A = this chain, B = another copy of it.
Amino acid sequence: MPFGAISTTQAALAAWKNVLGPQGVTTDAAVLASFSSATFKTQQGIPAVIYPQNVEQVQQCLKIATQHRVPVYPISTGKNWGYGSRVPVADGCVVMDLGAMRGILDFNEALGYVTVEPGVTQAALYKFLHERKSNLWMDATGSSPECSVLGNTLERGFGHTPYGDHFAQVSNLEVVLPNGELLETGFPRANKAVATPVYRGGLGPGLEGLFAQSNLGVVTKMTLWLMPAPDYFEAYFFSSDEESPGAIIEALRPLRMSGTLRSAVHIANDYRVLAGIQQYPWQETGGKTPLSREVMKRLRRQLGFGSWNGSGGLYGTHAQVAEARRLLKDALRGKVRRLHFLNGRLLNLAERFSHSFRMITRMDLRKTLTLVRPVYELMQGVPTPQPLASTYWRKRTPPSSNMNPDADLCGLQWLAPVAPAEGRHAENISSMAHSILLKNGFEPALSFTLLTERAMVCVIALTYDREIPGEDDRASACFQELTTALTAGGYMPYRLGIQSMDLAALNGPRAALIRALKSEFDPANILAPGRYGPA
């Protein structure tokens, strides 16, 4: 393959500069080094970064890439931490940074939708709605507020409100194909069909799926559905000291399936909760890693959380929430240690009195409460930087106010298998993750999310300190071991990091079909080669 040959790349760079201006193309070594850094070891080189400002420039950039056969790797805002950040899957790709395309268009309060470009961050959309005093809620994923809404949705990311399954809540993607043509996935005459923003299917074959987890086109716009704020909101929190979350999953699935629980339930183990509220307890452990189950047990008693810790939101009128509360209590009776319901007033009170509570009970809820507030707000679609702090779990110094896990050499690799929402699958996944991670010297920080009525995703965080010599390699070996064990057990990830893309490119007719689509749309294979498809 002629990719990355100096002369063709130079010619492409000159052509891009013609289109984007000199400031729209950079080969600055410091910039390239920064774009080449993820939260784990990567070796891909990046010859340049280009910055289109609008869809016409994206079209021209892709035409140039095709003409010169120089591969291009588009990113939205590039906050894909734990899955590869801004680093391309293949070596020698020019990164196309779409962060400058920040348009928020076609906002419709009555029908609940908005159209966003790739550079629209969670924070920007939240601000947009807030400034307009909109009654609509966005759904936020528990990553950085600077994460792209469009980027996360295309990766099939999820959040915590009833609109948490992001890709299920979009319509009419605008896509630039690698040949530079512009496509809308909605109706044949998307510009004339009034249903385009509200009706996903369009007419004829449905195309939007093709561009999720895909290297078949660059999505430059999508319409996003937004939920009306409910009359009333209440969060629930529960914990259990059981070894396995199986009984809890079994108890909750019927409530998801009946529609009583309209949003994801999130069930985190003790390691995950601890990493959410503090860094590694270096003092208590005398610097020994990994954190043993025994020490973990002591810490969770002291801090007041369980081996499994669930949370979720109830949305509706007061009566609807009250009935959901009753049904949830019934379902969890005898299966959890504590079940608390929290509204804004109670949360304020709890925060105010946590100090006195500690003096009476000796339990220190203050740290746990630092986790409750952001989770409580996430359930209402408010983006928060808090979850990002857990990336610094194994670091020896605290995170700065302007967290940058790539630059700060935080080690993080996510692995997120999906399974039917059944207790036995939760047990299997949890037990594989616990044994393989601890054996390799890492903490099994994980959570189960009851994402839909009948499917759950387990998100496993392999967190470490990249500054420790050899740790990168040990972590990657452990990650690979866990991936192999899980997929052999039938637990395929719902999403892949750049280090695991081979899982999407298997043999068989499905792979052949995607290969055929790729060669049809992108015969020169210039668009994100290797990303969820053939390299």
Question: Which residues of A are at the interface with B, using a C-beta cutoff of 8 A?
Answer: 110-113, 156, 162, 167, 177, 181-185, 187-190, 192-195, 197-199, 201, 203-214, 216, 225, 227-228, 230, 253-254, 257-260, 262, 315-317, 319-320, 322-323, 326-327, 418-422, 425, 452-455, 487, 489-496, 503-506, 508-514, 516-517, 520-521, 532-533
Q: List 7 A–B pairs whose Cβ atoms lie within 8 Å, in order of A's numbering.
A: A183-B510, A188-B511, A194-B425, A203-B213, A205-B216, A259-B262, A317-B323
- Interface contact B177-A112, CB-CB below 8 Å: no
Instruction: Give A56 Cβ to nearest chain B Cβ, in Å.
Output: 15
Instruction: Give A219 Cβ to nearest chain B Cβ, in Å.
Output: 12
Say how many copies of this protein the assembly contains: 2
- Interface contact B207-A513, CB-CB below 8 Å: yes
- Interface contact A211-B205, CB-CB below 8 Å: yes
List residues of chain B with CB within 8 A of the CB of A532. 203-205
Q: How far is the CA of A306 from the CA of B134 in the complex (A)?
A: 37
Q: How far is the CA of A492 from the CA of B199 in the complex (A)?
A: 11
- Interface contact A195-B419, CB-CB below 8 Å: yes
Instruction: Give A533 Cβ to nearest chain B Cβ, in Å.
Output: 7
List residues of chain B with CB within 8 A of the CB of A327. 317
Instruction: Give A160 Cβ to nearest chain B Cβ, in Å.
Output: 16
Instruction: Give A151 Cβ to nearest chain B Cβ, in Å.
Output: 16
List residues of chain B with CB within 8 A of the CB of A194. 419-420, 425, 489-491
Q: How far is the CA of A227 from the CA of B503 in the complex (A)?
A: 32
List residues of chain B with CB within 8 A of the CB of A183. 509-510, 513
- Interface contact A494-B203, CB-CB below 8 Å: yes
Instruction: Give A51 Cβ to nearest chain B Cβ, in Å.
Output: 25
List residues of chain B with CB within 8 A of the CB of A509. 177, 181-183
List residues of chain B with CB within 8 A of the CB of A505. 188
Most chain B CB inside 10 Å of its own CB: which residue of A156, A185, A190, A195: A195
Instruction: Give A521 Cβ to nearest chain B Cβ, in Å.
Output: 8
Instruction: Give A191 Cβ to nearest chain B Cβ, in Å.
Output: 9
12 further A-B pairs in the complex, CB-CB below 8 A; given A203-B492, A205-B213: A111-B420, A188-B492, A188-B511, A189-B492, A190-B510, A195-B418, A199-B455, A203-B213, A204-B214, A205-B514, A323-B323, A516-B520
Most chain B CB inside 10 Å of its own CB: which residue of A228, A512, A513: A513
- Interface contact A495-B419, CB-CB below 8 Å: no
Q: How far is the CA of A136 from the CA of B513 in the complex (A)?
A: 35
Q: State which of B110, B199, B257, B508 has its C-beta within 8 Å of the C-beta of A228.
A: B257
Instruction: Give A198 Cβ to nearest chain B Cβ, in Å.
Output: 4
- Interface contact B453-A205, CB-CB below 8 Å: no
